């Protein structure tokens, strides 16, 4: 990915939850940590992003999440979190070069390990394949 971002980085982003999108909201309420799970550069040089939200609260009913181990919380520099979860049942899709939401000038705050990322990827794959987890932030 461009400018030093890569898969597994944890960055701040105004994540738009699925329930907010369903109510017609266009903006997340606050910046929160998210994980860059997937980055792809297309033929035009645009960087497509899949961003998974991180929270200090367990998933709500209808959401599926993975609890983040303490070591991974430290790697991601989420030191203020007693416990943390990454939601895998929904994601924000954005394009870095056209994003009104992603601040490419802010460096990642931390990064998850490859082993933990593989567990996230496996848990997320069925939701991606189902095609109903995407919240498009490119509009």
pLDDT band at 113 (very low <50, low <70, confident <90, very high): very high
Calpha distance 114→9 (Å, rounded) = 11
Condensed to tens digits (0 to 9), the pLDDT of residues 49-93 reads 999 999 999 999 999 999 999 999 999 999 899 999 999 999 999
User: What confidence category does residue 25 fall into, taking pLDDT thresholds of 50, 70 and 90?
Assistant: very high
Average pLDDT over the chain, rounded to an integer: 93
Q: Buried b / exposed e across 61-89, counting CB within 10 Å, b at 16+? A: eebebbebeeebbebbebeebeebbbbbb
Helix (H, G, I), strand (E, B), or coil: what is residue 3?
helix
**Structural domain boundaries, residue 130:** 2-136
Residues 6+ away with beta carbon under 8 Å from 35: 8, 9, 10, 51, 52, 54, 76, 86, 112, 120
Query: With 70 as the cut, is the pLDDT of residue 3 above it?
Result: no
pLDDT at 125: 96
Q: How many domains does the chain have?
A: 1
Write the DSSP string, 43-89: TTS-EEEEEEEEESSPPPTT--EEEPPHHHHHHTT-TT-SS-EEE-S
CA–CA distance, 53 with 55 (Å, rounded to integer): 7
pTM of the model: 0.94
Q: So what's the pLDDT on residue 92?
A: 97
């Amino acid at each position: 990915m461009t400018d030093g971002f890569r898969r597994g980085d944890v960055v701040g982003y105004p994540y738009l939850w699925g329930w907010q999108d369903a109510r017609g909201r266009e903006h997340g309420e606050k910046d929160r940590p998210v994980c860059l799970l997937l980055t792809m550069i297309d033929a035009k040089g645009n960087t497509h992003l899949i961003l998974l939200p991180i929270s200090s609260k367990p998933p709500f009913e209808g959401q599926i999440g993975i609890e983040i181990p303490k070591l991974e919380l430290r790697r991601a520099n989420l030191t203020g979190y007693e416990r943390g979860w990454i939601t895998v049942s929904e994601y924000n899709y954005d394009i870095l070069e056209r994003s009104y939401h992603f601040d490419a000038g802010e460096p990642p705050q931390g990064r998850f390990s490859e082993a933990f990322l593989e567990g996230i990827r496996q848990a997320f794959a069925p939701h991606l394949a189902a095609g109903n987890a995407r919240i498009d932030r490119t509009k």
